[in-house]
Structure 1
Amino acid sequence: MATAQRGDLLLNHEIPEPVSARHLRDVTRSRIGGRRWGIGFLLAAGVLISYIDRVNLSVAHDALTQRFAISRHTFGFLLSAYNFTYCLCQLPMGLILDRFGVRRIGRLSTLVWSIASFAAGATTSLGALFGARFLLGVGEAPTFPAAAKATGNWFPERERSRATALFDSAAKFASAIGVPLIGTLLLAIGWRLSFVLTGVLSLLFFWAFTAIYKEPEEDPKLSAAELAYIRQDELMQDANELAPIKLSLLELLRQRKVIGLALGVLAYNYCFYMLLTWLPTYLSSSLHVDLQRSFLYTGVPWIVATVVDLVVGGWLVDLLAGRSRNAGKVRIAFLVVGMAFGLGILGAAPAHTAGVALFWITVSLAGLSAHAPVVWSAPALIAPRNNVATVGGIVNCTGQLAAIAAPIVTGYLSFKQAFLVAGALQCMGMLAYVFLLRSVEPMKLQRAG
């Protein structure tokens, strides 16, 4: 029976039976192919384009405030409009992804966010602009839960931090290249066409995703050897462990590890979205950097964040976790230390020059970026396979509460006060990792009754 269950995991791909640890080691050493990495880069491209859509609004701050006579407070709400609907969709989106799969939901969501980008460029009133941003939030809601679920489906545990770093670093790289690029285009062709450009990019990704993405068992270009490599962790489990486990939403919300991870993401997202939405304005209004240079300077910390995300959060985490007898403890160490470096945002609070401010902001973003791939790979590592997207939705929903609050609260505070709030939340996040999450490993299920 165990052999039959394991064979069923591979569906139409046949591998020699019985599947043994020795066989899997041989598979690991053989030429297994790299189809999974092609899927990883496809997911990264989607995140890159979706985040360029998000930063487009912050880049257009001056043009939009003049066109629609928007106050700083109102602009804070406009920056958060996307996150309102994004957040509301997270919990149901996780359940929907677990029910219908990444491919079907991914195609629909990409089409919706493409329409939203074009709609933003065509708006003639502030209300219509809010509507376009609300629609963008609905369209992009599956992005991270879907990427986390796809990564869990396409990569063995030993490669998940690197795979997660691919799409997570794309979020940072979007700001590194998106802010200077869109800023330059905005000054040359206007804000409307800059939104149209992101709509075109989104449609191109819709075509690519529709043509390429399939689940591993359904992909004819995936070899049997590579599928066995991807499924090695499951194939080496006992037959009893292969029985499908699925918890209800309420049961998942009771899990200590889910709560700890969610609070950590809340702390991370607050600082991330504060900088994602307000950094160009902070440089130009508080530090008196001219608009063109503020676009260019904004890219510096995000470029560093991209590199750290890939090298430290991806490659180094997988390297050390693979060599350790307790990979879960290695990953929790990166979460705590990374967020400790994130406290560098406190150094920017008293800064009076762009150089000092950018140094401390870069330290903060680098630390948070080192910890981010572990965060986004965690749902696939702590949750039952049938609940991965749901746990991702819970975590992302909690994070989006901070993403909603950060732009609005920052609009009412001085930037010094805003940086202090971000630092305090990161202290809370570290405590949640240490005392609630404790280790990035499968949760010990706490079921009702």
Structure 2
Amino acid sequence: MTTIIPRRRWVIGGLLGTGVLINYIDRINLSVAAPQLKAEFHLTTADMGLLFSAFFWSYALTQIPVGMILDRFGVTRIGRWGTFLWAIASGAVAFTGGFGGIFVARMLLGIAEAPGFPASAKATGYWFPRQERSVATALFDAAAKFSNVIGVPLVAFVVVGFGWRWGFGLTAALSFLYFIAFYFIYRDPSADPKLSREEHAYILEGGATPEGQADTNAGAMLAYLLRQPKVWGLSLGFAAYGYSFYLFLTWLPGYLVQAMHMSIIKSAGFAAIPWACATAADILFGGLLVDRLVAKGYDETKVRKSVLIIGMLFGLAVFGATQTTNPVWAIVWISIALSGLAASAPIGWSIPSLIAPKGGTGTIGGIMNFLNNMMGVVAPIVTGFIVGASNNFELAFLVAGIVLIVGIFFYVVVLGRIEPIQAPE
């Protein structure tokens, strides 16, 4: 008789996905409000590039410390504080009065949201067996893409109807509601009274990441992991993905308004199309397909790396967007590129928990997300200066494609097999 395993772990997966969804709506609201901000405060294109990057300066620079703190104090405690603080920081933008105030508020938001992705990756390692890890990771990673499908039109409606300040007020309210949900629902498996003994055994027997701190201190673990080629292959490959992802996250609405001469509302509708495609690819290929093949007994490394690299190759469709002035074809090429990148993303985020020694998942996730989000600093600024100098986006998209080629090299050559790194002595 087949034992039916309860599904508490999927409640946790859904909670983490909801958090990332709201987390990313917080990030994209500035992109939607950009035309109004630019007009009200007389900002240049380069100024907007700097504002888009402000969040990522603080977010990226706090990733490694946050990863170490997560490994020391755990997901429950750090997750609660992070969600509470990001709700406050999100609302602060609505009360600013110019470039400087917006820049500072966005930097504070970056600090507050820093635990989001590393905490979700660490929690997924605790809560899911290896054969379900890709789908579980795709739940929260796809939410980052889906935020553009519902978040951009939602924020655009509020911004156009009530003004840009109300757009930031809306995201602050959503963030606070998530803080309440996280506070009452999330626990690590060993501390969750609603997790059955049967499901906990199933999770552990399936190769879940062991709970608890590392046997070495945080500084020594960081130094040890920074010497591992696997960590650098993963982190630099994922950073290349991040360059294109953050270019489109911050500049896609502006590209459609400026280059394709659309209104804010129309650009929001068009911008949702590539992100909807990316959401589907994230779950179907980066999640379900990978877990299905691993469950059938195919080699884990070959499966994960094949989808990882093929997805990055599809990302090179960004080159196609440099060859058209037709908005429909531009959206087609960008949809292909983002779908490929989205298929590779949950695999990248699942790898820290698959290769980390005990107590090191948060640190590896912090290293990876630091380099990834430094691209969130670089891509908006570089794009802003290129577009400001040339008055078009072709060269900016070309640069993104070249960065992807470099990332593919690190995934293929440096990452190696996806297997646990030996624990430090």
Structure-2-length-normalised TM-score: 0.95
User: Moved runs in structure 1, 4+ residues, more than 3 A?
Assistant: 233-237, 242-247
8 Å contact 2:86–2:175 — kept in the other structure? Answer: yes
Deviations 1:37-88 (A, max 9, x none): 0000000000000100000000001110112111100110100000000011
| Equivalence for 1:438 | 416
8 Å contact 2:90–2:172 — kept in the other structure? Answer: yes
Distance (whole Å) between structure 2 residues aligned to residue 243 and residue 197 of structure 1: 38
Q: What is the correspondence of 1:13-412 to structure 2 with a 5 Å cutoff?
A: 29-234=2-207, 246=216, 248-412=221-385
| Equivalence for 2:403 | 425
8 Å contact 2:134–2:347 — kept in the other structure? Answer: yes
Distance (whole Å) between structure 2 residues aligned to residue 393 and residue 169 of structure 1: 19
**How far 1:233 moved relative to its partner?**
3.8
8 Å contact 1:331–1:439 — kept in the other structure? Answer: no
Distance (whole Å) between structure 2 residues aligned to residue 387 and residue 135 of structure 1: 26
> Structure 1 residues 325, 444: closer, same or farther in 2, change over 3 A?
farther
**How far 1:234 moved relative to its partner?**
4.8
Aligned residue type for 2:299 = N
**How far 1:248 moved relative to its partner?**
1.7
Deviations 1:321-346 (A, max 9, x none): 22234112210111111100000101
Distance (whole Å) between structure 1 residues aligned to residue 415 and residue 372 of structure 2: 16
| Equivalence for 1:10 | none
| Equivalence for 2:390 | none
Instruction: Provide structure 1 residue ranges, at least 5 long, that are not aligned to the other structure.
Output: 1-25
> Structure 1 residues 209, 287: closer, same or farther in 2, change over 3 A?
same
**How far 1:290 moved relative to its partner?**
2.5
The alignment partner of 1:33 has SS state of coil
Instruction: Provide structure 2 residue ranges, at least 5 long, that are not aligned to the other structure.
Output: 388-392
**How far 1:204 moved relative to its partner?**
0.3
Aligned residue type for 1:176 = V
Aligned residue type for 1:199 = A
Deviations 1:21-45 (A, max 9, x none): xxxxx9xx41220000000000000
| Equivalence for 1:6 | none
**How far 1:190 moved relative to its partner?**
0.8
8 Å contact 1:324–1:330 — kept in the other structure? Answer: no
**Larger of the two Rg values belongs to structure:** 1
The alignment partner of 2:420 has SS state of coil
Number of residue pairs the alignment of both structures matches: 416
> Structure 1 residues 244, 196: closer, same or farther in 2, change over 3 A?
closer
Aligned residue type for 1:442 = P
> Structure 1 residues 353, 111: closer, same or farther in 2, change over 3 A?
same
> Structure 1 residues 236, 172: closer, same or farther in 2, change over 3 A?
closer
Distance (whole Å) between structure 2 residues aligned to residue 425 and residue 176 of structure 1: 26
Structure-1-length-normalised TM-score: 0.90
The alignment partner of 1:442 has SS state of coil
The alignment partner of 1:248 has SS state of helix
8 Å contact 1:332–1:438 — kept in the other structure? Answer: no
8 Å contact 2:32–2:264 — kept in the other structure? Answer: no
Identity %: 48
Distance (whole Å) between structure 2 residues aligned to residue 56 and residue 133 of structure 1: 11
Distance (whole Å) between structure 1 residues aligned to residue 394 and residue 416 of structure 2: 32
Is 163-172 or 122-131 further displaced after alignment?
122-131
